[in-house]
């Protein structure tokens, strides 16, 4: 029996890891998955050593008090995996946790792979030398990353972005609007506060107040807000009770369906920005965190942007409203400006369509071809 250890530390990693696991199962019938993951990975048969929410932390003030716990969990996990002796280990994103695990497993003779390369091109570039000691092969999801890692001798394969493979190049907005009982001509705005609890605490109230501002200008606007899990759903409901917002639907999951239905999205910085771009939708990206976290990021970053579409397009194309600029008044003004700008909306579709084509590959198939020789 083949045995694969795999670890993801947040919802976006849980999604892409589960897609890879599902594909591997179609090629290898007798296989066991162990490691750490979320509900989607568990659905694909993962035996999770601990709940992945322990790794899903947001900002320096969440990370620092949890360092002793993280070190203990990491120690226990490494001990467990060495005992289980998997054929391979695949770390999915979560670089600060995964690379140490990969290093220790590699030292014990287990082949290690890393899926979703860390953003060494954005900050902490010297990490490449530590990464070289940790992983045997990187599966890169962006084309510009491959030469950066190969330059220091890390075997790297550009496998495309799994979301680009999952989301169709063209879709029917009105088909998805029927799902939410929305009319063809209605103005629909998607509000994405994030998936981690820290992000929800930072962004939910701001987005609700932004929606209220927009209703004063466009009173018939409809708002869709996804919640990734029951805990997030419960928290957002509590914020809505304190901040009632007309024409708002809170929906568990269904992020792609929501984005398909929307005219524009206002979203927390992260993977969601790329997801919105692949749906060819205009967006405003926000980030609100502790001032210390923000200051540190400003000091160490190598590039001016935070949103993936801007980074990949190498230009300030998507509005980024960070920290003091992420206010309901400024966000609602910017949203109204974008809605009226027909030329910008045409450019959005053209640029994001090209970006989608550049990132679209048979991701799971490419990864499987590389790991197949290592499976027993």
User: pLDDT per residue over 151-175, tens digit each?
Assistant: 999 999 999 998 999 899 998 898 9
Neighbouring CB atoms inside 10 A of 30's CB total 8
- Region 244-265: mean pLDDT is 96
Fill in the DSSP letter of residue 97. H
Based on the fold, state whether residues 75 and 220 are members of the same structural domain.
Answer: no
What pLDDT is recorded for position 64?
67
In a domain, 204, yes or no: yes
Residue 337 above 90 pLDDT? yes
The total of other beta-carbon atoms located within 10 Å of residue 84's CB is 15
Are 194 and 203 spatial neighbours (Cβ–Cβ below 8 Å)? yes
323 and 197 assigned to the same domain: yes
Residues 312, 287 share a domain: yes
In which region does residue 318 sit, left (phi positive, over 0), alpha (psi from -120 to 50) or beta (all else)?
beta
Instruction: Indicate the helix (H) or strand (E) that contains 32.
Output: strand 31-37
The SS3 of residue 198 is helix
Range of the domain at 312: 173-359
Owner of token pair 């003779």:
109
For residues 116 and 206, membership in a common domain is answered with no
pLDDT at residue 323 above 80?
Answer: yes
Q: Are residues 134 and 188 in the same domain?
A: no
> pLDDT higher for 301 or 129?
129
- Residue 149 shares a structural domain with residue 228: no
Q: Please tell me whether residues 11 and 28 are part of one structural domain.
A: yes
Task: List, as one string, the DSSP characters of 256-276.
Answer: HHHHHH-SEEEEESSHHHHHH
pTM of the model as a whole: 0.81
273 contacts 307 by C-beta, under 8 angstroms: yes
* pLDDT higher than 90, residue 224: yes
The whole-number pLDDT of residue 171 equals 87
Distance CA 305, CA 312 (A): 10
113 and 59 in one domain?
A: yes
The average pLDDT across 302-310 equals 78
345 lies in some domain:
yes
The end-to-end CA distance of the chain, in Å, is: 6
Q: How far apart are CA 113 and CA 46, in angstroms?
A: 18
Q: State yes or no: pLDDT of 237 exceeds 60.
A: yes
pLDDT above 90 (res 51): no
Residue 54's contacts (CB-CB under 8 Å, 6 or more residues apart) are 66, 69, 70, 73
Look at residue 166 and tell me if it is in a domain: no
Give the separation between CA 32 and CA 110, rounded to whole angstroms.
16
pLDDT over 90 at 267, yes or no: yes
Give the pLDDT confidence score for residue 65 in this predicted structure: 66
H-helix segments, 286-362: 291-300, 308-313, 328-340, 342-359
Residue where the block lists tokens 């993801």: 8
Residue 357 CB: number of other CB atoms within 10 A?
10
Average pLDDT over residues 245-258: 95
Report pLDDT for 105: 97
pLDDT in the model for residue 226: 97
CATH number of the domain to which 257 belongs: 3.40.50.2000
| pLDDT given at position 122 | 52
| Structural domains of the chain, count | 2
């Amino acid at each position: 029996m083949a045995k694969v250890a795999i670890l993801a530390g947040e919802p976006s990693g849980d999604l892409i890891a589960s897609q890879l696991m599902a594909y591997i199962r179609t090629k290898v019938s007798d296989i066991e998955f162990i490691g750490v993951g979320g509900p989607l990975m568990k659905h694909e048969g993962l035996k999770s050593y601990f709940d992945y929410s322990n790794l899903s932390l947001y900002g320096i003030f969440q990370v620092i008090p949890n360092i002793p716990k993280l070190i203990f969990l990491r120690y226990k996990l490494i001990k467990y995996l060495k005992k289980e002796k998997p054929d391979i280990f695949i770390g999915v994103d979560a670089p600060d946790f995964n690379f140490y695990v990969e290093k220790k497993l590699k030292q014990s003779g287990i082949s290690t792979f890393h899926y979703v390369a860390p953003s060494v091109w954005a900050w902490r570039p010297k990490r490449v030398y530590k990464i070289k000691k940790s992983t045997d092969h990187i599966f890169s999801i962006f084309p510009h990353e491959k030469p950066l890692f190969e330059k220091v001798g890390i075997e790297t394969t550009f496998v495309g972005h799994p979301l680009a493979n999952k989301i169709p190049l063209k879709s029917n907005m009105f088909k998805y609007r029927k799902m939410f009982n929305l009319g063809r001509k209605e103005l629909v705005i998607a509000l994405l506060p994030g998936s981690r609890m820290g992000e929800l605490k930072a962004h939910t109230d701001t987005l609700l107040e932004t929606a209220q501002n927009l209703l004063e200008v466009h009173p018939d606007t409809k708002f869709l807000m996804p919640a990734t899990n029951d805990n997030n759903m419960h928290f957002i409901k509590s914020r809505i009770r304190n901040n009632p917002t007309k024409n708002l639907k809170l929906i568990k999951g269904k992020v792609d369906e929501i984005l398909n239905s929307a005219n524009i999205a206002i979203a927390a910085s992260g993977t969601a920005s790329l997801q919105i771009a692949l749906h060819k939708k205009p967006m405003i990206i926000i980030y609100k965190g502790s001032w210390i976290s923000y200051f540190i990021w400003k000091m160490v970053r190598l590039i001016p942007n935070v949103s993936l579409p801007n980074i990949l397009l190498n230009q300030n194309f998507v509005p980024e409203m960070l920290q003091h600029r992420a206010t309901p008044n400024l966000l609602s003004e910017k949203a109204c400006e974008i809605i009226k700008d027909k030329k910008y909306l045409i450019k959005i579709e053209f640029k994001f369509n090209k970006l989608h084509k550049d990132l679209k590959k048979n991701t799971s198939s490419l990864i499987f071809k590389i790991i197949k020789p290592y499976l027993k």
